Amino acid sequence: MAMKDVITGARNEDGIATVLALLKQVFGDRFQTGQSFLEQHAHTTTYLPAQLPDGVVFVETTEDVQTVVRSCAEHKVPVIAFGTGSSLEGQVNASHGGISLDFSRMNKVLEVNAEDLDCTVQPGVTREDLNVYLRDTGLFFPIDPGANASLGGMAATRASGTNAVRYGTMKDNVLSLTVVTADGEEIRTARRARKTSAGYDLTRLFVGSEGTLGIITSITLKLQGIPAMISGGVCAFPTLKAACDAVIMTIQMGIPVARIELLDETQMKAVNAYSNLSYAEKPTLFVEFHGTEETVAIQAEQFGEIAAEFDADAFQYTTNAEERTKLWKARHNAYWAGRALAPELNGLSTDVCVPISRLAECVEATQADIRETGLLAPIVGHAGDGNFHVLVLMNDKDPAEVAKAEKFLERLNTRALEMDGTCTGEHGIGQGKMGFLRQELGHAVDIMGQVKRALDPDNIFNPGKIFRI
C-alpha cells in the first residue's frame, strides 16, 4: 500500500468530544490526552505515517474495558486496542481518531493449570514475562515473534515466529478467549478442553482479527514442557538456493527442528557488526533442536549430513545455554542490526509466506529483484514454514525512493501469491497490506466484511484496518 492510500476516515467530532469528557470524569489520571501519550500510542514500527488517537485509557479490569466500549458505542467513536506497539503494518494507528485502550496494566497471569499444560492470562502480559512466571513449573510458552509483544496483541495479529515450525502459531496455541463485543458484553469463545465440535470456532475468528471485531480481555494458552536438552548451531552455505534447499530437505525428511532460520549474506554482515560476531558472511541457517540428549545429537547429525550435500561449511552446534542465548539474541536483533547498516534511513519491514517447495525459488527471485532495483534490503526468514522477511532501507522523505520501495513490495507480494502463497505470514494486514488482501482472497473479503458488519455494525473497533468499510 502506498502512503497516499492509507485511510484517514471521517471523524465524529461531536461524539469524540462527548466521550473525552465522559472518560475523563470516570478514569481521572488513568485517562490521558497529552501529546506525548497520544504519540506513544500511534507508535508502530513501520514507515506508514502515524495517526494519533484523541485519548488514551489505561484499563485495569474487564469492567474498565466495558465502560469504554459502551461509551464509544453509544457515541459511535472508534476504539483501538494497544499492547506494546510492536505491530508492523499500522495496526495501532487511529485512522478515524478515537480512544486507545492501553493494556499494559492488565498484566496478570490469572491461572496456571500445570497438569493440563495451559494457562490463562490478561492481554497485557508479555511473552517474556509469562515465561519468567512459568520458569519454576517446568513449562513454557513457545510462540516467539522476536519482539517482547503482549499476548493480547499476539492473539489479535495471529503472531508466530522462530518456533512456529515445531509448535505452530498463535492460532494453534490459543484454546479460548474472553472478548468484549460492540454491545459492551463479555463473551467466552470456548472452554479449556483441547478439542471441541461445539458450534462455530469463535476463538479462531477473533485470533487474527486485529482488534476489528472485539476487544480481547483474557487468553487461555497451551503450554509445553521445557525440553530436557536443547542444541543450537550455525551453518553457512555457498548460495541462498543451497540453504533453502537444505531447509526443504530437512522438513521433508521429518527431522523435528524447533527453529530453522535463514539469514542472507547482507543480514549476516549486519548481525556480525551489530552483535560483535564473526560468522561467515554467507547465506546461513540458524538451527535449534529440542528433546533428550540422545535425540538432539541424532537430529544435529542428520542435519549436518543434509547440509554437507549442499556444500555447506561444517555445522557448528552446541548445547551450552550461554552460547545458544548469544546466538538467538543475535537473531532476534536482526531488525535492529539491519537498521544499523544505514542508520540515517528508515525501514520498511515486510513478510510473505509460500509453500515450502517454492521457498528457494521465491527467495532467489526476491534477492535478484533487490540487486536489480539497487535497494539495500537484508532478508531473514522462518524458513521451516516458508515464511521470510525483507527489511527495505530507504529515505522515507524522498518520494522517488518510497515509490521504488513500494513497487518492490508490490512485486514481492505478487510473486508470493503467484506461488500460491500469502502476502503476510505473520505481520497481519493492518493498513500496509490492505491492497493485497483482495488479490489473495477475492470474494472471501466480502464475507469478512459481512462478519465485521454483523459483529460491529457501527464500525467502532479499529476502523480502517484489513479492508475498507
pLDDT string in tens for the chain (469-residue length): 444 456 677 899 999 999 999 999 999 999 999 999 999 999 767 778 899 999 999 999 999 999 999 999 999 999 999 999 998 899 999 999 999 999 999 999 999 999 999 999 999 999 999 999 999 999 999 999 888 999 999 999 999 989 999 999 999 999 999 999 999 999 999 999 999 999 999 999 999 999 999 999 999 999 999 999 999 999 999 999 999 999 999 999 999 999 999 999 999 999 999 999 999 999 999 999 999 999 999 999 999 999 999 999 999 889 999 999 898 999 989 999 999 999 999 989 999 999 999 999 999 999 999 999 999 999 999 999 999 999 999 998 899 999 999 999 999 999 999 999 999 999 999 999 999 999 999 999 999 999 999 999 999 999 999 998 8
Backbone phi and psi for residue 233, each to the nearest 5 degrees, phi listed first: -165, 180
**43 closest CA partner among 12, 83, 98:** 83
**Residue type at position 435:** G
Separation between Cα atoms, residue 162 and residue 127, nearest integer Å: 13
Instruction: Give the Cβ contact number of residue 22 at 10 Å.
Output: 18
Residues 6+ apart with CB under 8 A from 438: 445, 467
Instruction: Give kind and range of the element (H or E) at residue 16.
Output: helix 13-27
Q: Count how many residues are written for the chain.
A: 469
Domains of the chain, earliest start first? 3-104+450-455 (3.30.43.10), 109-225 (3.30.465.10), 228-427 (3.40.462.10)
DSSP classification of residue 108: -
User: Are 181 and 72 within 8 A, CB to CB?
Assistant: no
Q: Which residues of 201-213 are buried (b: 16+ CB within 10 A; e: fewer)?
A: ebbbbbbbbbbbb
Predicted pLDDT at 48: 85
Beta bridge partners of 452: none
Q: What is the DSSP string of 349-407?
A: EEEEE--GGGHHHHHHHHHHHHHHHT-B--EEEEGGGTEEEEEEEE-TT-HHHHHHHHH
**340 closest CA partner among 398, 391, 293:** 391
Beta bridge partners of 346: 394
User: Are 383 and 359 within 8 A, CB to CB?
Assistant: yes
DSSP classification of residue 65: H
pTM, full prediction: 0.94
